[in-house]
Amino acid sequence: MSDIIAYKDHNNEYYDHEIENGIPVKSKSEDALNIMRHDMAHILAEAVTQLFPNAKPTIGPFIKNGFYYDFDMESTLSDEDLIKIEEKMREILNEGRSFIKRTVSKEEALKIFKDNKYKVELINNLDNSAEINLYDQKNFTDLCKGPHHSSTKDYEANIKITSVSGAYWRGISTNKMLQRIYATAFYSEKELNKHLKNLEEAKERNHRRLGTDMGLFLLTDLSAGNVFWKEKGLTLYQNIEKFIRSEQQKLDYKEVKTPELVSNELLVKSGHWDNFQENMFTSEKDNKTFALKPMNCPCHIVLFNSQLITYKDLPLRYSEFGKCHRYEPSGALNGLFRVRGFTQDDAHIFCTDEQIYDACNETTQLIERVYKKFGFEKIKYNISTKPEKSIGSQESWDNAVNQLKKVLTDNGKDFKILDGEGAFYGPKIEYTLEDSLGREWQCGTIQLDFNLPERLGARYKDKDDKNQTPIMIHRAVVGSLERFIAIILENTNGWLPLFITPIQLAILPVSEKFVDHCNDINSKLKDLDVRAIVDSSDNKLGYKIRNSVSKKIPYSLVVGEKEIETKTFNVRSRKGENTSFKNIEELNEFFKNN
């Protein structure tokens, strides 16, 4: 039997027949796993249609880590239903199924699927020249371009239905909502369990739980989508801000603070009022309309315009930890990941065409430096180019895109081009980081803007004393501080990098006798900017250690008779490793350097 089950092209599209320059897909490979999961989607559809004869199958692709199938059904699926479906799938798998391909005419296909308007729609949308393939299995036939394994007997499939949710037909929100069943499948039970355990772990690492346990912040329905920062959370927030600020100062950024509430006059001029009014919080006073700013750029241009700027002032870098508000649909809110009030680590660089390269180059290096410091090493880069609807000449777009490409290339980065994905006003680079659970987060961005400076009348004088319009570069490193804090919390499971963690050290007296001594140490450490607390409870040492570890305090300092006599400082890491220091300065060094 051949080891090759399918072919794929260079866009990772799979085919059930050999193609020109096709890459063979070998059985049990990563690609084969996708195909196997697609097989399972068909098995799922058979199970569902057997149990619910009126269910109309629509589409069921494989996705990252699994697959789904969307059904139009009369009743919604309960947890018990899912268990039954999963059992049915196992039953079917025990019997085994062959996937037999058959090519039919359009008329035939329409006849076969006449009771399923979704399949009819799909068939009618196919090119007239396109071959229409069906895959037959016992009790189920699906419209499908394949490929499939010839039989489920070719492998062992370990399946698990993971969830059910609503999903619009064809992803269009005016269409009917279907029921989507998510599931996953692996060749071995071991891999399946590992994946399920991973999901569990991700749940455990939930930043909402960590935030509550660590006393960082409060989310309450008294202001849905807005964060109440507690003192420890604010320390964390400020430490992140502090680090980014210091990096920006090295690059001659000028930090500013602009109003959160602005007259809509500004937003009308900038064009945001026309396009995004629905997403702003507004209020009326003095017969005027005000809005909470949804972004900082118009305000920065107001500052730019308030003074005479010449070419000598460029590039001019305005940065702001700007509090913005956006009305997000209720269903979009999600912990700190998606909020209505957030702080952008925003900046706008005003510059000339010639300065684009340098500005973007220093920014990409800045972004990388910051990510690295926070423990993110894996970064993906995308460049988005001119969309169909856009402003600015083709020439200026080409120039700008080439500069962006050159920046990444010169910095030794691989990147993807997302054709036509740029904003209407300019191209951009997006920075996506990968966390320790393999999840990806788009955080940083560099976005060129050929529109807004012109619209708001930004001008500088060139060497010939003529007015020119600057290019504006929007850039953010971590994006929203709120979201970034959620990402770091989940990435580290609460074991935050030492330089930002709210409490670095728990000072633990062995008994009450040593509490005063501990307080003395703490006040000295305070002067040295080490963030410590003294546990003066009357619990035993083991208990105090357990407590400080469970509060995610990375180090503890045990103080008792021995330490006072020998004048040493014994620091215990959360893993139980001990390090001894001779004096408080040495101890301080340790905290400064870790």
Partner RNA sequence: GCCGCCGUAGCUCAGUGGUAGAGCACACCCUUGGUAAGGGUGGGGUCGGAAGUUCAAUUCUUCUCGGCGGCACCA
Query: What residues make contact with RNA under the rule CB under 7 A?
Result: 76, 78, 163-168, 171-173, 177, 179-180, 182, 208-209, 212-213, 219, 221, 224-225, 272, 275-276, 279-280, 294-295, 326-335, 338, 423, 510-513, 537-543, 545-547, 549-550, 556, 558, 560-563, 570, 572, 574-576, 578
- Tell me the C-alpha distance between 229 and 342, whole Å: 12
Least spacing, CB of residue 272 vs RNA, in Å:
5
State the sign of the Cα–Cα–Cα–Cα dihedral 519, 524, 526, 527.
positive
Least spacing, CB of residue 67 vs RNA, in Å:
13
For tokens 């301080």, the residue is 588
Closer Cβ to RNA, 7 or 484, answer by number: 484
Q: Which of 474, 531, 544, 552 is catalytic?
A: 474
- Tell me the C-alpha distance between 372 and 368, whole Å: 6
Residue 72 bears catalytic tag? no
Phi and psi for 499 in degrees, rounded to 5? -75, -15
β pairing state of 555-559 and 505-509: parallel
Residue 269 bears catalytic tag? no
Closer Cβ to RNA, 100 or 333, answer by number: 333
Q: Which of 16, 154, 346, 449 is catalytic?
A: 346
Least spacing, CB of residue 388 vs RNA, in Å:
15
Residue 348 bears catalytic tag? yes
β pairing state of 379-384 and 217-218: unpaired
Return the closest-CA partner of residue 429 out of 450, 407, 451: 407
Closer Cβ to RNA, 16 or 482, answer by number: 482
Helix (H) or strand (E) holding 566: helix 561-566
Residue 344 bears catalytic tag? yes
What is the residue type of 86? E
Q: Which of 42, 97, 300, 348 is catalytic?
A: 348
Closer Cβ to RNA, 80 or 527, answer by number: 80
State the sign of the Cα–Cα–Cα–Cα dihedral 283, 285, 288, 293.
negative
| Residue 259: cis peptide before it, omega within 30 degrees of 0 | no
Closer Cβ to RNA, 46 or 346, answer by number: 346
Least spacing, CB of residue 234 vs RNA, in Å:
18
Residue 144 bears catalytic tag? no
Residue 326 bears catalytic tag? yes
When computed from its CA atoms, the radius of gyration of the chain, rounded to whole angstroms, is 30
Least spacing, CB of residue 87 vs RNA, in Å:
19
Residue 346 bears catalytic tag? yes
Return the closest-CA partner of residue 60 out of 207, 181, 158: 181
Return the closest-CA partner of residue 494 out of 204, 282, 284: 204
CA distances from 580 to 50, 543, 572, 577 (A): 68, 21, 9, 10
Closer Cβ to RNA, 154 or 490, answer by number: 490
Least spacing, CB of residue 497 vs RNA, in Å:
18
- Tell me the C-alpha distance between 105 and 129, whole Å: 10
Least spacing, CB of residue 138 vs RNA, in Å:
30
Closer Cβ to RNA, 99 or 290, answer by number: 290
- Tell me the C-alpha distance between 280 and 277, whole Å: 5
CB 245 within 8 A of CB 309: no
Would you state the structure tokens that stand for residue 322, as one six-digit string?
């700007």
Least spacing, CB of residue 418 vs RNA, in Å:
13
Least spacing, CB of residue 459 vs RNA, in Å:
22
- With b for 16 or more beta-carbon neighbours within 10 A and e for fewer, the 104-130 pattern comes to beeeebeebbeebebbbebbeeeeeee
| Residue 315: cis peptide before it, omega within 30 degrees of 0 | yes
Q: Which of 344, 355, 447, 504 is catalytic?
A: 344
β pairing state of 4-8 and 14-15: antiparallel
In 10 A of CB 471, how many CB atoms?
25
Closer Cβ to RNA, 100 or 302, answer by number: 302
Helix (H) or strand (E) holding 405: helix 394-410
Q: Which of 142, 154, 297, 403 is catalytic?
A: 297
- Tell me the C-alpha distance between 360 and 473, whole Å: 8
- Tell me the C-alpha distance between 167 and 76, whole Å: 13
Active centre residues (catalytic) = 297, 326, 344, 346, 348, 428, 474
